[in-house]
Amino acid sequence: MNLRSTLAIVITLVMTIGTACTPQEPEPTTNNPSVDAGPDTSDGPDIPDDWIVLDDGPPFPVGCVDSAGGEATIEYEIHPSTTSYMLVPFTSFPGTYDPRTITTPSGYVIDLHNENLFQLYGLEYPEIAWINPMVFPPAPNYDHQLEAGLHTLHVLTDDPRVCFYVIEDQGPSNTLDLNFYFVGLDALDLNAATADTHPDFSAILTATAEIFAQAGITLGEVRFLNADPDVAAAYSNIRDYDDLYALIETSEYPGESLTENLSLNVFLAERFTDGSVGVAMGIPGVAAMHESLVAGIGITAEYIGVDADHNQFTANVLAHELGHFLGLFHTTEIGGAEFDNLDDTPECTQFNPHFNCPDAQNLMFPYADYDTTELTPDQAYVLQKNPLIR
């Protein structure tokens, strides 16, 4: 069963970011009522005093800088106790930008078009090229790219401004919170009220937890929500990417604190009419920005309850797409010519037949099966560095 990972034909727009930015003059966040009245960021990112706040963005401060001459420079500060961080630059939709380099406090230059090129994966897809989250360090061999102090990101862009936020990871990194949206699953009697005691869904959650336990990660708060009936009627059969984006765009901020918003949205729908089983909106996907077409993953429910094997298969698909959203690439891409950047995951250079591949049981093998559950230590490292693993 072929899993489709992040691809993109986006039509709809969630946040009109170009008009959502507050006026260009930086305002001290302490003077901005939406900060004072809003979120608790005490456990969140270090916010520079001169950052401004989006009127219609995430419920935490977001910085914006003006571009000039097709370029923009973003400065951000990393705290000494930070163990990893996600940098989220974005432009208006459907704008684009091209991140070039990050200069670290020691003067080291991270060349995003060289050794870190895989972090620009999303820019290949014009419809999601307006937002490209990057986690540092992105893999074990990149530990040296984490430094404390003032960093400078240089980007090229035709947009008049680039906005950004940084989420610093300082926690134990052992908990994943999920927000499940049930989309028209009456035939399975699966909804927010029944999920807690639903035998098949419970088995799937248990199997998913077992997969992530290999990386020292447990499922923390798991929220159950029903898609709006109109939304469910329109999108429970996901016909194309337009449907999926429209569906994921209906995600909501689960709270005002950063902690609550560091949770990953899972849309469980009846099926993809093209036979796909799951799609993730980024490798990695964006953390903490809900109400956005890029804010989560979509999974088919069509195999739930068929039998125990199919419940396990559904768990494997769910964990695979969560893995993408948390930063994991396929161990081997279909065809056997492209591989992840991790040393301890096997590479399959003789892809046909693919069931002979040395990575055929890995969670991130491109074909899901009943036994594609394994995670390696390097994959655990990538997962833990993501701020969505708290």
**Minimum distance, C-beta of residue 169 to Ca ion, in the bound complex (Å):** 4
> Tokens 């447990």 belong to which residue?
218
With CB cut-offs between 5 and 8 Å by kind, which of Ca ion, Zn ion, none does residue 5 bind? Zn ion
**Minimum distance, C-beta of residue 115 to Zn ion, in the bound complex (Å):** 23
- For the chain, the straight-line distance linking the first and the last C-alpha, in angstroms and rounded, comes to 31
Instruction: Find out whether 155 and 112 touch, Cβ atoms under 8 Å.
Output: no
* Torsion (CA) 139, 142, 144, 147 in degrees, nearest 10: -60
Chosen residue from 53, 128, 266, 342 binding Ca ion by CB under 5 A: 342
Site residues for Ca ion, window 171-200 (CB under 5 A)? Answer: 173
d(CA 181, CA 297) in angstroms, rounded, equals: 10
Residue 345 near Ca ion by CB under 5 A: yes
- Shortest Cβ contact with Zn ion: which residue? 5
**Minimum distance, C-beta of residue 324 to Ca ion, in the bound complex (Å):** 16
d(CA 319, CA 264) in angstroms, rounded, equals: 12
d(CA 25, CA 110) in angstroms, rounded, equals: 30
**Minimum distance, C-beta of residue 323 to Zn ion, in the bound complex (Å):** 8
With CB cut-offs between 5 and 8 Å by kind, which of Zn ion, Ca ion, none does residue 389 bind? Ca ion
Q: Is 305 exposed, middle or buried (0-12, 13-18, 19+ CB in 10 A)?
A: buried
- Of the pair 182, 329, the CB lying nearest Ca ion is at 329
With CB cut-offs between 5 and 8 Å by kind, which of Ca ion, Zn ion, none does residue 191 bind? none
**Minimum distance, C-beta of residue 321 to Zn ion, in the bound complex (Å):** 7
d(CA 151, CA 328) in angstroms, rounded, equals: 25
Q: Which residues bind Zn ion (CB under 5 A)?
A: 3, 5
Which x/- pattern, by CB under 5 A, does the window 147-176 give for Ca ion?
A: ----------------------x---x---
Instruction: Find out whether 245 and 293 touch, Cβ atoms under 8 Å.
Output: yes
Residue 322 near Ca ion by CB under 5 A: no
**Minimum distance, C-beta of residue 333 to Zn ion, in the bound complex (Å):** 9
Angle between helices 308-325 and 199-213 (to 10 degrees): 50
Beta-strand ranges (E) seen in 18-82 are: 63-66, 71-78
With CB cut-offs between 5 and 8 Å by kind, which of Zn ion, Ca ion, none does residue 3 bind? Zn ion
- Of the pair 5, 208, the CB lying nearest Zn ion is at 5
Per-state percent for the chain, helix, strand, coil, to nearest 5: 25, 25, 50
Q: Which stretch binds Ca ion (CB under 5 A): 20-28, 238-246, 280-288, 381-389?
A: 381-389
Chosen residue from 17, 227, 348, 389 binding Ca ion by CB under 5 A: 389
**Minimum distance, C-beta of residue 320 to Zn ion, in the bound complex (Å):** 6
Beta bridge partners of 278: 299
Q: Which residues bind Ca ion (CB under 5 A)?
A: 169, 173, 340, 342, 345, 389
